[in-house]
Structure 1
């Protein structure tokens, strides 16, 4: 029975989220892992539901999928800011708290300190004078710390110093290969 992996990340917001998910699932399969993306196409009646009900259905479905998966492979590429997507970080924390392994990657080669400085330069800081302790890490220390603690491996990031496109699957495939080898 193959290892099942919850494919966490903001990829669900891509214009072709279903096609992107299929490509990720195929990469997982090549490495002997059953990839399970948290898409919402499987909830046929979602569009007909009031928003107050729809988000609860999505949350319950995703939580059930997380419970059913052995591991998580987490897209921690910065999303709409200097850091990873808030919902994805919550999912990473859930896997850490559940004692399940999580493997993370980012398509950003730039460290958290530099991204934070660029963010403050672009958008005035409402709390001037606050500092960011980047520690040379790819994101806030709690994020790569959770990945390392739960999976035993550091986050996968571009080592050549060149950012990849948000939807690039190069770092994802490297992460999947590491997860497959860490069984």
Structure 2
């Protein structure tokens, strides 16, 4: 029986979100997983915003409830860290003791990205420390992935960052998850 993977991440904001979701679902299928991407092309985008956001939330929760595990895009999004909505989603899976797997297309450490952001944009709280652990994100994020799925965050093995929408590191993560779960 195929396991179902919720494909968390801010990919829904990409200009080619539908094609990206379809490609991720196809990659999952090649590895024996059923992928559920939080992209609902049937959603009525003409709904009033106060109804639309709630419908999106409920759709995503329903997909998460129907999933056995999560594979999360933790590539930095609009800042030095992963997307906040994606982080809520991986916490949801961790809290339900469902396997958590994640990947990032960015090779630079969180400390490097944080320092670069602090240099580029005035820090509203200057003088705060930056985590010195050489991790892919704030320590709670790789901790959630490592202790939730038994593997570290999947990163570019060659140390070269990829474009945000690149899928080769996603596929490495899917393959690693399938091996880890013995599927």
State if a TM-score over 0.5 links the two structures.
Answer: yes
- Report the equivalent of 1:29: 29
Specify which of 89, 100, 103 is matched with residue 102 of structure 1: 100
TM-score computed with the length of structure 1 as normaliser: 0.97
Distance in 1, Cα, partners of 2:42 & 2:180: 30
Detail structure 1 runs of 4+ shifted over 3 Å in the superposition: none
- Report the equivalent of 1:63: 61
- Report the equivalent of 2:4: 4
Aligned residues: 181
- Report the secondary structure of 1:69's partner residue: coil
Distance in 2, Cα, partners of 1:134 & 1:23: 36
Between 47-56 and 165-174, report the one with greater CA deviation. 47-56
* Post-superposition offset of 1:42: 2.8
Structure 1, unmatched stretches of 5+, are none
Matches within 5 A, 1:44-55: 46-55=44-53
Structure 2, unmatched stretches of 5+, are none
* Post-superposition offset of 1:182: 1.6
Q: CA contact under 8 A between 1:72 and 1:95: conserved in structure 2? A: yes
* Post-superposition offset of 1:40: 2.5
- Report the equivalent of 1:39: 39
- Report the secondary structure of 2:173's partner residue: helix
- Report the secondary structure of 2:124's partner residue: coil
Corresponding position: 1:154 with 2:152: yes
Distance in 1, Cα, partners of 2:171 & 2:109: 21
